[in-house]
């Protein structure tokens, strides 16, 4: 079964879900530089037209039974699983994902659909007490049209985790994927939901840039914006949404710490640390951006971490056996390298990596890092592991909290209760004790605090209902009320 057309310059990239008024752009493999095809780019007029269509179509979709919506979402999950090989191929070619990461994205995306199918039948209200002779209750109703703005780095998951639950509770959805991953993060989902039976206009995909994003936020038909991206861009999205009095769920950057206490198995800890920093070239919001290591085990930890970095294969993700693929583009590569060289200039010791060829950046370990070191103080979004040493828990907590971010925290220790004590003192939306900082499950709430986001959550019944519905108070009584005038 082929999900997308073989002629990648026609049916895949043109259709009712893909606009052309904003021009078009090439779809490029970051591994090889090969142009895989072209994709239509949405302009502001495309977004406004799509929002009007979505608002009209949403009424019937919301009126459909929960069984109908659940069936569509189950079919979407089945289609993702049935076409996993083809979808993974696009994630590898266009998204620069290694085979394992590509497969993980498909697996989680299917799970998001199945969980959303179950969401459609969940209770959506509560009976309230009232002092009057009437029935009083609160119910969750669809917001109408949800705008989803998804990034390039994990495009399939970071789109579907908002798209699926928003559809499940009766909303129409407009998805704006990053143009750099418009196929694996956009065209794939458009075709999956078309085949799953989503009515025309209920789900639309509009790849685009700043103009499309601004139009989506400003359009009066769109009542909720779900944005995943950098903190800098998220601030602008939040400000614009506030001007238009609409909710914005902002899932933003991170500089997540992995704490290594003095009672760990150092070999196991270094393996965990390497995975947390180097998976998907470090292009994950939850990537382990800071290794906070007790001085008693720091030398051994750095030695083993550097050895693991040196042993990893870096190359085209279109080939099997590659551990790390390319970063997304030259701009991101140059930012990574600038932070690494700036850190070395500031006194950090380069223990592994620090070099690149084309878009392939070697996994990098920096030792003797301080709180002001560029690669420690800023989110690198690349395969870089800065190591800072500490001698006491109070010093550790101070180091861990000297950041504006608060997305994910990992603590490695033989005693999990020590991990909980640290978690109590370090603000973070996610905590993993005896694991690294990167994880995602469709059933779990996900979100950060501080500059990592607005604290909104995706995942799980309660979080998704709160994110994509409005609460409406309803009363009813047998006889009309009587008043003195």
* 175/32 Cα distance (integer angstroms): 28
Active-site annotation holder among 112, 115, 251, 379: 251
* 130/115 Cα distance (integer angstroms): 34
Active-site annotation holder among 285, 379, 395, 398: 285
Q: Label the pairing between strands 449-450 and 469-476.
A: unpaired
* SS3 (DSSP) at 300: helix
Q: How far is CA 367 from CA 259, 370, 388, in A?
A: 15, 9, 7
Give me the helices (H) in 262-392, please: 266-278, 298-311, 330-345, 374-377
Q: Label the pairing between strands 360-361 and 356-357.
A: antiparallel
Q: Is 257 exposed, middle or buried (0-12, 13-18, 19+ CB in 10 A)?
A: buried
* 243/246 Cα distance (integer angstroms): 8
* 391/222 Cα distance (integer angstroms): 51
Give phi and psi for 246, each to the nearest 5: -130, 155
Tokens of 406: 């608060």
Tokens of 392: 């006491």
* 47/54 Cα distance (integer angstroms): 10
Element holding 215 (H helix, E strand): helix 210-218
Residue position matching structure tokens 């979709």: 61
The answer to whether 145 and 173 have CB atoms below 8 angstroms apart is yes
The answer to whether 39 and 195 have CB atoms below 8 angstroms apart is no
Is 184 labeled as catalytic in the residue annotation?
A: no
- The DSSP secondary-structure symbol of 22 reads T
Residues labelled as active-site residues: 251, 285
């Amino acid at each position: 079964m082929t999900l997308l057309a073989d002629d990648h310059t026609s049916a895949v990239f043109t259709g009712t879900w893909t606009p052309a008024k904003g021009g078009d752009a090439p779809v490029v493999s970051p591994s090889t530089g090969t142009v895989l095809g072209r994709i239509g780019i949405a302009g502001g007029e495309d977004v406004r037209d799509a929002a009007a269509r979505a608002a009209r179509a949403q009424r019937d979709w919301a009126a459909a039974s929960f069984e109908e919506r659940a069936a569509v979402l189950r079919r979407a999950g089945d289609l993702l699983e049935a076409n996993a090989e083809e979808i993974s191929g696009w994630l590898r070619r266009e998204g620069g994902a290694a085979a394992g990461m590509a497969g993980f994205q498909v697996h989680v995306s299917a799970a998001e659909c199945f969980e959303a199918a179950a969401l459609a039948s969940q209770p959506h209200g509560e009976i309230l007490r009232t002092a009057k002779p009437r029935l009083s209750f609160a119910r969750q109703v669809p917001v109408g049209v949800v705008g989803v703005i998804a990034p390039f780095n994990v495009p399939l998951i970071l789109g579907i985790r908002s798209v699926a639950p928003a559809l499940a509770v009766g909303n129409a959805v407009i998805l704006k994927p990053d143009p750099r991953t418009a196929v694996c993060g956009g065209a794939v989902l458009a075709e999956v939901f078309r085949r799953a039976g989503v009515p025309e206009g209920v789900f639309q995909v509009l790849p685009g840039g700043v103009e499309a994003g601004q139009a989506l936020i400003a359009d009066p038909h769109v009542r909720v914006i779900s944005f995943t991206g950098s903190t800098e861009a998220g601030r602008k999205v939040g400000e614009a949404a506030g001007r238009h009095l609409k909710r914005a769920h902002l899932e933003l950057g991170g500089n997540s710490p992995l704490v290594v206490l003095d009672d760990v198995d150092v070999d196991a800890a270094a393996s965990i640390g390497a995975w947390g920093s180097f998976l998907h070239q470090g292009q994950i919001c939850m990537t382990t951006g800071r290794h906070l290591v007790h001085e008693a085990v720091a030398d051994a930890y750095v030695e083993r971490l550097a050895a693991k970095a040196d042993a990893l294969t870096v190359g085209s993700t279109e080939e099997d056996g590659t551990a790390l693929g390319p970063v997304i583009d030259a701009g991101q590569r140059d930012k990574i390298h600038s932070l690494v060289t700036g850190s070395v200039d500031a006194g950090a010791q380069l223990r592994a990596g620090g070099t690149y060829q084309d878009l392939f950046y070697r996994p990098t370990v920096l030792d003797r890092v301080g709180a002001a070191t560029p690669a420690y103080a800023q989110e690198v979004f690349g395969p870089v592991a800065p190591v800072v040493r500490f001698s006491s828990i109070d010093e550790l907590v101070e180091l861990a909290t000297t950041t504006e971010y608060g997305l994910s925290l990992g603590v490695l220790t033989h005693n999990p209760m020590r991990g909980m004590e640290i978690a109590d003192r370090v603000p973070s939306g996610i905590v993993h004790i005896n694991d690294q900082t990167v994880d995602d499950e469709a059933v779990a709430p996900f979100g950060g605090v501080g500059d990592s986001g607005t604290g909104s959550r995706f995942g799980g019944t309660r979080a998704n209902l709160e994110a994509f519905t409005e609460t409406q108070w309803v009363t009813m009584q047998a006889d009309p009320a009587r008043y003195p005038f």
